[in-house]
Amino acid sequence: MKAAKTIRRQLLVGLLAGLVLAISVAGFATYLKMRHETNELFDYQLKQIVRSFPANMVHQKSETPDTHPGKKIVVQVWNQQRELVFTSNAQKNLPRYDGRGFFEVEVGGQRWKVYSEENEHQIVQVGQLILDREKIEISLALRSLIPFFALIPILGVLIWLLVGKSLQTLSHLASNLDERSADMLNELSIAGYAPELTPIVLAINDLFKRLDHAMQSQKMFVADAAHELRTPLAALKLQLQLVEKADNDFERQQSIARLHERLNRAIHLVQQLLTLARQGAVSEHVGREKLNLQELARSVVSDHAFLAEQKCIDLGVEAPDEDVYINGNRESMHIMLGNLVDNAIRYTPRDGRVDVTVSFTPEGPRLEVLDSGAGIPEKDRTRIFDRFYRGEGTRESGSGLGLAIVKDILDRHHAMFSILPGAGVGGTGLTFSILFK
């Protein structure tokens, strides 16, 4: 299994690679500069050797041993009669050249750098093997690079130590998180952390806050569900006992009918509980897509057409010819509108009317559910979105979760909603208005 690359190792490798590249570029530039300077120094040396000879020399013979370093430089002097009067190395004599100043020549397969001057009395010519010059130049240039490359291991150790010290705050953060229990969701203190780690600590604190809210909501949900399920289950058991005690077929049939009614109510409650739990787990940004409000309204109305027919309720859709779109989760929006239409049908008397309208306003897309029912008393309007709350005197069966689910979905979609009493069909009932941004 391939070992994971740590941040420390990645920083070390990255910084060292950058340093080696920078040092290499600087070293190469220094190398070229050093060779240029050394070459100029050698040229200056040749020029000084030429000018150090007396102006009027007589015949002389060099007795310099062959192994002397001076043999690498050949000095020759000719008098006015073009006779060779001096040579520093008879074995490596160069031809006399007519050119003056610096120039390069090739003698016996070897390249020479030559400098020549002429005065009224003589010609002085000095030559040096270019190969010897280059060896010295390269040697000096390479020696100048030693300090550069000696810094690499030193800098590597310093980087390793400094990066390790800088990452200690991450280890401190990891230790703080590791010491916490699963239910310890209080915020971390940002004191003592580097500014670069502050956003991470703040993000963790925000996550803790959301987890704490989710856990509290889950605890409340479980407690409320247990409480609400206890009553219908007890009623089912009681109704079953009544069926067992029935004296005749008529009483038994009535008891069985009530048993079916209570079973349907319990099934509806469980379905709403599951819907609420499922919607609570849906993220705000998961499954979002472009939705056509007209198609959504027609689909929901079609699903509830049979229920409306049973109560002789006129159920329809009013929408403009142009399509109105929103960005949302298709399943969540279908559940939300379905609950609103279901509530409107349930609480609208027979021969009533329920309309779903779609429009596009200057503020944004708008969806409304209007009914001709009795409306909602003013004292109940502040609590109708609470879980398991059902107003007093309500005859229709329900779980008290429908509007809680509606509010949860709309909050996740950042939609604004309001209830307008007395603004329903025929001036009665109410209008549930939703504005999407």
Domain range for 237: 206-277
* Residue 340 resides in a domain: yes
Q: What distances in angstroms separate CA 295 from CA 32, 37, 50, 113, 136, one per listed residue?
A: 76, 84, 103, 93, 88
How far is it, in rounded angstroms, from Cα 85 to Cα 122? Answer: 9
Compute φ and ψ for 424, nearest 5 degrees.
-80, -165
Instruction: Looking at the structure, tell me whether residues 29 and 138 fall in a common domain.
Output: yes
- The answer to whether residues 259 and 303 belong to one domain is no
Q: How many residues does the chain have?
A: 437
- Report CA dihedral (200, 205, 211, 212) to the nearest 10 degrees: 170
Residues 96, 77: Cα–Cα separation, whole Å: 9
- CATH of residue 398's domain is 3.30.565.10
Q: Which residue do the tokens 């809680």 mark?
A: 404
Domain boundary among 248, 277, 306: 277
How far is Cα 95 from Cα 327, in angstroms, rounded to an integer?
A: 94
Q: 145 and 290 share a domain?
A: no
> Does 129 map to a domain?
yes
DSSP 433: E
151 assigned to some structural domain: yes
- Using an 8 Å Cβ cutoff, are 103 and 147 in contact? no
User: Same domain, yes or no, for 323 and 252?
Assistant: no
Which tokens in the block code for residue 53? Answer: 């000879």
CATH number for the domain spanning 217: value is 1.10.287
Measured distance CA(436)–CA(364) in Å, rounded? 6
φ and ψ at residue 230, rounded to 5 degrees = -60, -40
| pLDDT at residue 1 in the model | 47
Torsion of CA 260, 404, 316, 305, to 10 degrees: -20
pLDDT (tens digit, 0 to 9) for every residue of the chain, 437 residues total?
Answer: 455 667 777 777 888 888 888 888 887 888 788 888 888 888 888 888 888 887 777 766 554 444 444 447 888 888 888 888 888 877 788 888 888 889 888 888 888 889 998 877 888 899 988 888 888 878 877 787 788 778 778 888 888 888 777 777 777 777 878 777 777 777 877 777 777 778 888 888 888 888 887 777 677 666 656 655 665 677 677 777 777 777 787 777 877 877 777 677 677 666 666 665 665 555 555 567 888 999 999 988 988 888 888 889 999 999 888 889 998 888 888 888 888 888 888 888 888 899 999 999 889 999 999 998 877 776 666 666 666 555 554 555 555 566 777 888 888 888 888 888 765 566 678 888 999 98
Alpha-carbon span 404 to 152, nearest angstrom: 66
End of a domain among 226, 250, 277? 277
326 three-class SS: strand
264 and 309 together in one domain: no
Q: Are residues 155 and 234 in the same domain?
A: no
The verdict on 259 and 305 lying in the same domain is no
> How many Å apart are CA 258 and CA 242, to the nearest integer?
10
- CB-facing half-sphere around the CA of 239: CA atoms within 13 A: 17
One domain for residues 294 and 387: yes
Query: Would you say residue 166 lies in a domain?
Result: no
Structure tokens at 195: 């500014």
Is 257 in the same domain as 391?
no
Is the same domain home to 347 and 406?
yes
Q: Is 198 a member of any domain?
A: no
Same domain for 20 and 122, yes or no, is yes
Rounded to a whole number of angstroms, the distance between the first and last alpha carbons of the chain is 50
> Quick check: is 173 in a domain?
no
Asked, for residue 323, whether it belongs to a domain, the answer is yes
Task: Please give the structure tokens belonging to residue 259.
Answer: 């048993």
pLDDT at 287: 65
The pLDDT assigned to 378 comes to 67
- What number of other Cβ atoms are within 10 A of residue 5's Cβ? 9
Backbone angles phi, psi at 393, to 5 degrees: 80, 10
Question: Considering its fold, how many domains does the chain have in total?
Answer: 3
Structural domain ending residue among the three candidates 216, 246, 277: 277
**Would residue 424 count as lying in a domain?**
yes
Same domain, 210 and 348: no
Q: DSSP alpha helices (H): ranges in 353-401?
A: none
Question: Around Cβ 418, how many Cβ atoms within 10 Å?
Answer: 10
